[in-house]
Amino acid sequence: MKNLWYIARRELAAYFTSPIAYVIIAVYLAVIGGLFGFILYYSREATLRYVFLHGVSLLFLVLVTQALTMRLLADEQRQGTLELLLTSPVRDWEVVLGKYLASLMVFATMVLLTGYLGLLLLRIGKPDIGPMLAGYLGYLLLGAALLAIGVFSSSLTQNQIIAAIVGMGITLLLWLSGALVDLVGGAVGQVFAYLPIFDHYIDLVRGVIDTKDIVYYLSVTAVFLFFSVRVVESRRWK
Amino acid sequence: MIQVEQLTKYYGANLALDRVSFQVAEGEILGFLGPNGAGKTTTMRILTGFLPPSDGKVTVAGYDVFQDSLEARRRIGYLPETVPLYREMTVHDYLDFCAAIRGVNQRERAIGRVLEACSLGDVEHTLIAKLSKGYRQRVGLAQALIHDPPVLILDEPTIGLDPRQILSVRQLIKSLGSKHTIILSTHILPEVSQVCQRVLIINRGRIVAEDTPERLTAGLQGGLRVRLQCAQPSADAVNLLRAIPGVTQAVQTEPHTFEVTLDAGTDRRSDLAALAVHRGWGLLELRALTLSLEDIFMQLTTEEGEAQPEAVEAQR
C-alpha cells in the first residue's frame, strides 16, 4: 500500500516538474472560464448547469482526461522504466492504481479551481447550491471514469498519441452505445441503455443524486482499472 | 544463490532459450557472454521476474522467481539493458524513489552510500536528462545497489562508458563481488577475464561453454599449438614433424614456419626442438600459441558454413 503512494507521488512530481500539468490546467481554466462567461451573458441565470452540460465542456473533458493519462503507462513502456517498476518488489496493481491516483489528484485540483465560478455566482446571484454540488459530484465521477479509460488505453501501447486516440475512441463508443438499445432490442438492448457514459452525468447535473448513476461511474472506473492491471500483468504470462 | 534449471523460453514459435541450466554460488561473479540475440537479456529478464519462463525453474536466494516473485525481487538489484531512468527527475529524487519502492528504511543513508560507490556525488541534484551517457549508466548501477541486495544482475554494465569509467565500474563490480552474488552480461571479452570467476558462453539460446576464463582459454583449444620457425628446414620437415608421437597435426604456414598441434595433455615441445636441432634446421623460434578469449568466443558461436576466423582455421 505504501508503494502505491510512492508511485503516485513520483507521478505527481512528474506532472508538475514538466509543463504538462500547468498547461493543461491553464488551458482548461481558460476554456471553462470563457464558456461560463459566454453562457452567463446570454442566460442571465445563476447556475453552472449549462456549463456542465455544454457540448464544449463535455468534449473538452474527454480531451483533457486523455491528455492527462496518455503518458502514464505508455511512456513507462517506451522509456523502459516499466522494467524498473515490475522488477521491484511492487505489485502490478500498485503501479496502475498509483498512477491513476496521481492523474485523479491533478484532475480534482483542476475541477476545484473552477470552484471560483460557483463563488462568483454566490456573490452576484442566488444559485441553487444543492444542484451545483451534485453537478460537481457528477463531473468528478465522470472524470474519474474517463481517467480510468485513459489509464487503460495507455497500458496498451508505448505510443502516447495512440493511447490518447484509443481512449477517446472508447469514450465516444460508450457514448454512442445508447443507439444500440433499439437496434438490438430485448434484454441485451437494455444493457446498452445503461452504458452511455454521459447519460448518468446528466441526471446528476440536474440535481438528482441516484445511487444507480454513482455506481455506474464507479464500476466503469473499476472495470477499466482492472483491465489495465491485467494488461500490465499479461507480460508476465507471455 | 541462483539456481536455473532447464530454463526454456519461447517467443511465439521462436525458441529463445533452450533448456538452460546453471548455478551461481554465493559471492561468485558469473560472466554471461554471447552474441546479440543469444538469449542473455531474456535470461536476465526471467531471473528478475520481468518475463515468465515457458518452462523450467529459477530460484534466487531460495525463492522461486515466479511463485514467490515479490520475495525474490526484494533480493535482486537489476540493471536492465536500457537503463530505466526518469529523465525529469534529479539523481537524488530518482534514487529516493527507487529506495522507497524497494522498501529501504533509511533512504538518505542508502542514497549517500550508492552516490559514493558510483562516484555520483557531484551530480546528486542534476536532472537525469542533462547527464552524459556514462553518468546515466552509473545512476542505473546506483539504482541496482540502493537496497543492498544480495544478488546483482547487470545487463551490460559498462556499455557506453569511456575507458576510464569502464575501469572504475569494473573495479566497483569486483569489489561488490565479495558481498554480493553477481551475474553480468557483456560483449567485452577482456572484461570477463578481469572481473568474472566463471564464464558462461551462450549462443542461440543454449549454453555452449561454462568454465573459468583461464580454463576456457587453455582447455578449449584441445591440445597445445606451437609455432616453429627455422632458418633452413629440410623439404620433408612437415612429415618428420608429423612422425613425432603426440603430434596430431603439422602445417607449413610459411616457407620457414610450421604450426604444430599436440595431443591434449601432452607437451612434446622439447622433442620438436630436439628434432630441429638434430636435423640442423637452424631453430629460430619455438612458441606456444594460446587462443584468446575472442578466438574461443568466435569458435563457439560461429555457425558452420560461415566464414571461420583465422585462428580457428589454423587449428584444424
The pLDDT of A86-102, averaged and rounded, is 95
Å between A105 CA and nearest CA of chain B: 19
Assess whether B125 and B40 both reside in one domain: no
Residue whose C-alpha is closest to residue B25's, from B239, B177, B164, B227 = B177
| Residues of A in Cβ contact (< 8 Å) with B89 | 10, 13-14, 17
Assess whether B108 and B129 both reside in one domain: yes
Of the candidates B212, B247, B263, which is a domain's last residue?
A: B212
Of all residues in chain A, the one with the smallest CA distance to B66 is A236
CB–CB of A80 and B84 under 8 A?
yes
pTM of the model: 0.82
Å between B12 CA and nearest CA of chain A: 8
Q: Could you read off the pLDDT of A13-25 as tens digits, one per residue?
A: 999 988 889 999 9
Q: Could you read off the pLDDT of B199-236 as tens digits, one per residue?
A: 888 888 888 888 787 777 665 555 677 888 888 888 88
User: Any idea which of A52-56, A211-215, B79-83, B266-270 has the lowest mean pLDDT?
Assistant: B266-270
Assess whether B71 and B195 both reside in one domain: yes
Assess whether B55 and B156 both reside in one domain: yes
The pLDDT score that the predictor gives to residue B303 is 53
The pLDDT score that the predictor gives to residue A93 is 95
Å between A89 CA and nearest CA of chain B: 5
Assess whether B25 and B47 both reside in one domain: yes
Assess whether B126 and B246 both reside in one domain: no
Of all residues in chain B, the one with the smallest CA distance to A232 is B50
Compute the distance between CA of residue A195 and CA of residue A176 in angstroms, rounded to an integer: 9
Q: Pick from A15, A86, A88, A95 the residue to mutate for testing the B interface (most B CBs within 10 Å).
A: A88
CB–CB of A79 and B74 under 8 A?
no
Across the A/B interface, how many CB contacts are shorter than 8 Å?
A: 73
CB–CB of B51 and A236 under 8 A?
yes
| Long-range CB contacts (within 8 A, 24+) of B252-258 | B253/B314, B256/B229, B256/B230, B256/B231, B256/B232, B256/B284, B257/B227, B257/B228, B257/B229, B258/B227, B258/B228, B258/B229, B258/B230, B258/B233
CB–CB of A89 and B89 under 8 A?
no
Number of domains in chain B: 3
CB–CB of A6 and B97 under 8 A?
yes
Compute the distance between CA of residue A58 and CA of residue A196 in angstroms, rounded to an integer: 13
Number of domains in chain A: 1
Grid look-up 629440410 returns B234
DSSP notation for B288-307: EE---HHHHHHHHHPPTTSP
Query: Residue B250's domain spans which residues?
Result: 222-289
For residue B241, give the CATH number of its domain: 3.30.70.1560
For residue B194, give the CATH number of its domain: 3.40.50.300
The pLDDT score that the predictor gives to residue A202 is 83
Of all residues in chain B, the one with the smallest CA distance to A81 is B84
Å between A232 CA and nearest CA of chain B: 11
Assess whether B106 and B128 both reside in one domain: yes
B90 in a structural domain: yes
Q: Pick from B65, B67, B86 the residue to mutate for testing the A interface (most A CBs within 10 Å).
A: B86
CB–CB of A88 and B89 under 8 A?
no
Assess whether B56 and B174 both reside in one domain: yes
CB–CB of B89 and A14 under 8 A?
yes
Cα-flanking dihedrals φ and ψ of residue B233, to 5°? -70, 150
Compute the distance between CA of residue A60 and CA of residue A83 in angstroms, rounded to an integer: 34
- Strand pairing of B283-289 and B257-262? unpaired
Query: Residue A222's domain spans which residues?
Result: 2-234
Say what percent of chain B tops pLDDT 90.
Answer: 34
Tell me if B33 sits within 8 A of A219, measured CB to CB. no
Q: What one-letter code names the amino acid at B61?
A: A
Assess whether B62 and B170 both reside in one domain: yes
Assess whether B110 and B166 both reside in one domain: no
Q: Could you read off the pLDDT of A112-166 as tens digits, one per residue?
A: 999 899 888 888 888 888 888 888 999 999 999 999 999 999 999 999 999 999 9
